[in-house]
Amino acid sequence: MQLLLNKIEDNSLTVGIVGLGYVGLPLAVSFASAGVNVIGFDNSSAKVAKINTGENYISDISAELWQEALTRKTISATTDFTRLSGCQAILICVPTPLDQFHKPNMSFIESACMVIGKNMKKGTFVCLESTTYPTTTEHFVLPILEKESGLRHGSGFWLAFSPERVDPGNKSWFTRNTPKVLGALNEEGLTIGKAIYTLAVDHIYTVSSPRVAEMVKILENTYRLVNISLINEMALLCGKMDIDIWEVIEAAKTKPYGFQAFYPGPGIGGHCIPLDPFYLEYIAKKFNFDLSMINTAGHINMMMPHRMTLKISSALNRYKKSINGSNILFLGVAYKPDIDDERESPALRIIDEVAQKGGNIHYHDPFVATIETIQGRKFNSDPLTAGLISIADCVVITTNHSAFDIPWILGNAQLVVDLRNAVKDASEKVYKL
Amino acid sequence: MQLLLNKIEDNSLTVGIVGLGYVGLPLAVSFASAGVNVIGFDNSSAKVAKINTGENYISDISAELWQEALTRKTISATTDFTRLSGCQAILICVPTPLDQFHKPNMSFIESACMVIGKNMKKGTFVCLESTTYPTTTEHFVLPILEKESGLRHGSGFWLAFSPERVDPGNKSWFTRNTPKVLGALNEEGLTIGKAIYTLAVDHIYTVSSPRVAEMVKILENTYRLVNISLINEMALLCGKMDIDIWEVIEAAKTKPYGFQAFYPGPGIGGHCIPLDPFYLEYIAKKFNFDLSMINTAGHINMMMPHRMTLKISSALNRYKKSINGSNILFLGVAYKPDIDDERESPALRIIDEVAQKGGNIHYHDPFVATIETIQGRKFNSDPLTAGLISIADCVVITTNHSAFDIPWILGNAQLVVDLRNAVKDASEKVYKL
């Protein structure tokens, strides 16, 4: 342990980061910008090449921070995982998606652990950052590392869990200033982990075990899933009761305690909220436990894209039109405003359903040039012109990118279905969620 | 309208407040302490007598404010509802409970409206504060007032809705400094209502209709119901997974955005959270709409007292004891700490179930001298002595009143079931939720 702490002290530590996505690369940069040696590992030679030629592909990393990391020359990337043997700290930032049956896909963690186990030297600190079900670190990662390395935890290496808290597009909170939760398998691991992470993150909050740390992240995201689902359900009811849900939320926000506002929308998206709670549901089954809140919330959100299609159909019906044969223009396919990520975006599901019903699909998103829907339909973003808007029988605002000039869109549109409260003063031709 | 505004201007307005409970009396005092003439109306001659002899029976009203109201001599109370004819503003603060089948009991609003309608003069402003389902003001209150008074809304009187936001025991937020939402049936009513409420409350937030204001309150409390239910369900799972939910919540709170902490407990209590969402559920049925989140949340909380009984049973089982024949001491029966209100408290339900299983019930609550359970069992609070604690086979902390000396209780107890995270360092004889 002292050896590792000394290496931190004299800055001869090398941190290996496995997985160079929206979590791994910002973390690598946070270390590198502080002058810590970082090697990034990824199977994508494209990503690796970009990093090594100084190209930043994660929009959340500020230009200054990226420049600082480049200037320090302490960051490099490789597809050669044998170089993990030169790292004293290895942080795992690989994806944990769901398969199409909503079951955890642990294959990325599994293969990362196998290659780490095969290559790591005695005395390495390993930490998982990927969101996963509680007990993963102890019951899934630990056995693989011990088996592949032939080392024993405690004497041969240390293992911990520290959930990533990346919020894409958040301008105020980034890797360094977002407090980081850390739980390790033993006290030594916790001490080492805290010393290492302190190089990249200002505040480390330690907890008693990896499973507590795992549950923390799941709780944070389950809270969001449940509240988004609640407000979506309330929005649907408000629609029937002739109540403007957006006005209700603004008024409720004047309560100075005990309320946090969530906003309705066409469904949940991204790589966290739609997925993480189902990791918990998966492990809960093992404990013979039914998570009814997650179940119900999941159900509501699963239905949202379909209900949004019905809204489009209702709106067209006003004008004696059907989806079948109409031109439908979708504005925004990213899952939230001003980001370039359309993963799990509800827009893709709505587009599939509208296409299936015979709608002619057009879309525009300043951040997403091409899409492939869940059912495999491919589209290119059309340039947003007055002509494009005016030929659309219905314009659907699926993402409220701040670049959208709403009055101009409204001026040119025949009919707008606004799923994001982008249009503040509703007129006759606007159909709101 | 100008007449009423003039009366506000020259302070010749008389405000009538119907219902002098935890909402009505603080509101009356807030008006009176500002020198506004207030008459409180209640069927309870005991309450009326107390007010008229200067006795405050609502602990949330500070001594200073009460004294100020008395000094001003602008507050009085009566059981004579014909005196409503002397009020230009009438605010309805009556209870809206549920019947035993979880259906709204509108009888208090109904009789208040009938007596107001019979007595009010032309040009009166009427506002409902009771939490209720959206559309109540328009579809329930309005017809009664018009029928009983023979007046028409707009020409004869004005009607509005403004939800109470009283949080019993809250030391920071009280009637005057808590922003108040107000929605009226027409613009005049809104102008008048805002002018009147501004006398008692610092910030009035107006919305477009009574039904929006009604929904605001329901949203606020549904948000709480759903999140308490979520954390209760998570707590039960954590119990099975050997994870300390309290530690998880503390760690999650370090997330600087997008998270609000709720805490588990033996179930929900009080006069709002367990009731209000079911008012919405009631009206939703009329719109053929199923509020699945409220359903699920309600189900979880309905089961909590039973699950807590099982926890007590499990704890006793460690010591080879059963509930049947054991002395069980409950500490705290109020539904939240440091208040004297045991309405809808889950403690009462747990006590019923434990008694039914043959447990010998004792309880201590510094704020609640006697209780009657849901099933009609009556108990008196026992003085909290070392002897009482030590003869208990199990001490159950059902409410974490700050007066409880936890180390002393722990020192004298054989076994503690802590449903409120009152005991910070868990020892062998502590069984936590």
From the candidates A171, A259, A262, which should be mutated to test the interface with B, based on the most B CB atoms within 10 A? A259
CB-based contact B238 A215, cutoff 8 Å: yes
Q: What per-residue confidence (pLDDT) applies to B393?
A: 98
Determine contact: A205 vs chain B, CB below 8 A: yes
- What is the mean predicted confidence (pLDDT) over B213-226? 96
**Confidence check: pLDDT of B3 > 90:** no
d(CA A133, CA A214): 7
B387: in domain: yes
d(CA A10, CA A17): 20
Closest CA to B46 of B8, B83, B20: B20
Please measure the distance between the N-terminal and C-terminal CA atoms of chain B and give it in whole angstroms.
Answer: 57
A255: in domain: no
Gyration radius of chain B's alpha carbons: 24
Give yes or no: residues A175 and A33 share one domain.
Answer: yes
Q: Using one digit for the tens of pLDDT, what is the confidence trace for B354-399?
A: 999 999 999 999 999 999 999 999 999 999 999 999 999 999 999 9
Closest CA to B88 of B36, B112, B123, B53: B123
Window 241-300 of A: residues touching B by CB (8 A cutoff) are 241-244, 247-249, 251-252, 254-260, 280, 283-284, 287, 289, 291-293, 295-297, 299-300
* A373-to-A209, A333, A393, B7, B158 alpha-carbon distances in Å: 40, 10, 22, 65, 54
Gyration radius of chain A's alpha carbons: 24
Contact A20, A77 (CB under 8 A): yes
Determine contact: A302 vs chain B, CB below 8 A: no
Closest CA to B260 of A264, A260, A221: A260
d(CA A279, CA B258): 20
Q: What per-residue confidence (pLDDT) applies to A274?
A: 82
Contact A364, A351 (CB under 8 A): no
B243: in domain: no
d(CA B231, CA B226): 9
B338: in domain: yes
d(CA B134, CA A238): 10
CB-based contact B241 A213, cutoff 8 Å: no
Give yes or no: residues A200 and A331 share one domain.
Answer: no
Q: What per-residue confidence (pLDDT) applies to B88?
A: 97
Tokens of B76: 């009085």
Q: How confident is the model at residue B113 (pLDDT cuts 50, 70, 90)?
A: very high
Q: Which residue of A has its CA nearest to B203?
A: A254
Contact B388, B372 (CB under 8 A): no
* B187-to-A44, A189, A244, B158 alpha-carbon distances in Å: 63, 66, 18, 10
d(CA B426, CA B433): 11
* A214-to-A130, A207, B159 alpha-carbon distances in Å: 9, 10, 52
Tokens of B58: 């609502």
Out of B205, B229, B289, whose CB is closest to A240? B289
d(CA A69, CA A49): 16
CA B160 to chain centre: 22
Give yes or no: residues B188 and B317 share one domain.
Answer: no
d(CA B176, CA A103): 51
Contact B84, B41 (CB under 8 A): yes
Q: Using one digit for the tens of pLDDT, what is the confidence trace for B291-309?
A: 999 999 999 998 999 999 9
Find the largest Cα–Cα distance for chain A: 76
Please name every residue paired with B124 in a beta bridge, in sequence order, or none if there are none: B157
**Helical H runs in B242-324?**
245-252, 276-286, 292-318
Q: Using one digit for the tens of pLDDT, what is the confidence trace for B392-430?
A: 999 999 999 999 999 999 999 999 999 999 998 778 899
Provide the residue count of chain A. Answer: 433
Determine contact: B203 vs chain A, CB below 8 A: yes
Count of alpha carbons within 13 angstroms of residue A305, beta-carbon side: 20
Give yes or no: residues B191 and B318 share one domain.
Answer: no
B403: in domain: yes
Q: Using one digit for the tens of pLDDT, what is the confidence trace for B146-172?
A: 999 999 999 999 999 999 999 988 989
CA A85 to chain centre: 30
Q: What per-residue confidence (pLDDT) applies to B104?
A: 93
The helix (run of H) or strand (run of E) holding residue B380 is strand B378-380
d(CA A62, CA A175): 11
CB-based contact A293 B208, cutoff 8 Å: no
d(CA A168, CA A174): 9
Which 3 state secondary structure label does DSSP give B280? helix
* Number of structural domains found in chain B: 2
CB-based contact B226 A224, cutoff 8 Å: no
Q: What per-residue confidence (pLDDT) applies to B59?
A: 87
Determine contact: B233 vs chain A, CB below 8 A: yes
Rounded to the nearest angstrom, the minimum Cα separation between B234 and chain A is 8
d(CA A301, CA A313): 19
Domain boundary among B208, B239, B269: B208
Determine the residue type at B381: S
Domain boundary among B208, B232, B253: B208
* Domain range for A388: 304-432
CB-based contact A296 B300, cutoff 8 Å: no
Window 376-395 of B: residues touching A by CB (8 A cutoff) are none
Please report, for the domain that includes residue A170, its CATH number. 3.40.50.720
Q: Note the pTM of the prediction, 2 decimals.
A: 0.94
pLDDT mean values, one per 10 residues, chain A (433 residues): 90 96 96 95 97 93 91 93 98 92 92 98 97 97 98 97 93 94 98 97 98 97 96 95 96 96 91 86 92 93 94 96 98 94 92 97 97 96 97 97 95 96 85 88
CB-based contact B296 A291, cutoff 8 Å: no
Determine the residue type at B284: A
Domain boundary among A175, A208, A241: A208
Give yes or no: residues A321 and A425 share one domain.
Answer: yes
Give yes or no: residues B178 and B324 share one domain.
Answer: no
- The values of phi and psi at residue A44, to 5°, are -80, 110
ipTM of the modeled complex: 0.94
From the candidates B223, B242, B294, B432, which should be mutated to test the interface with A, based on the most A CB atoms within 10 A? B223
Tokens of A22: 């929206």
Q: Identify the sign of the CA torsion A199, A200, A203, A205.
A: negative
d(CA A190, CA B84): 69
Contact B264, B433 (CB under 8 A): yes
Residues of B in contact with A165 (CB under 8 A): 255
Instruction: Among A40-44, A272-276, B51-55, B72-76, name the one with the lowest average pLDDT.
Output: A272-276
B281: in domain: no
Out of B242, B260, B292, whose CB is closest to A299? B292
- The values of phi and psi at residue B63, to 5°, are -60, -40
Window 124-163 of B: residues touching A by CB (8 A cutoff) are 134-135
Give yes or no: residues B204 and B309 share one domain.
Answer: no
Please name every residue paired with A204 in a beta bridge, in sequence order, or none if there are none: A180
Provide the residue count of chain B. Answer: 433
| DSSP conformational letter for B139 | I
Q: What per-residue confidence (pLDDT) applies to B296?
A: 94
Give yes or no: residues A181 and A317 share one domain.
Answer: no
A214: in domain: no
Q: Within 10 A of B49 (CB to CB), how many other CB atoms are there?
A: 12
Contact A30, A200 (CB under 8 A): yes
Residues of B in contact with A204 (CB under 8 A): none
Please measure the distance between the N-terminal and C-terminal CA atoms of chain A and give it in whole angstroms.
Answer: 57
Burial class (CB in 10 A: 0-12, 13-18, 19+), A88: buried
Tokens of A34: 């502080």
Burial class (CB in 10 A: 0-12, 13-18, 19+), B87: buried
Per cent of chain B over pLDDT 90 is 88
B129: in domain: yes
Determine contact: B425 vs chain A, CB below 8 A: no
d(CA A226, CA B302): 19
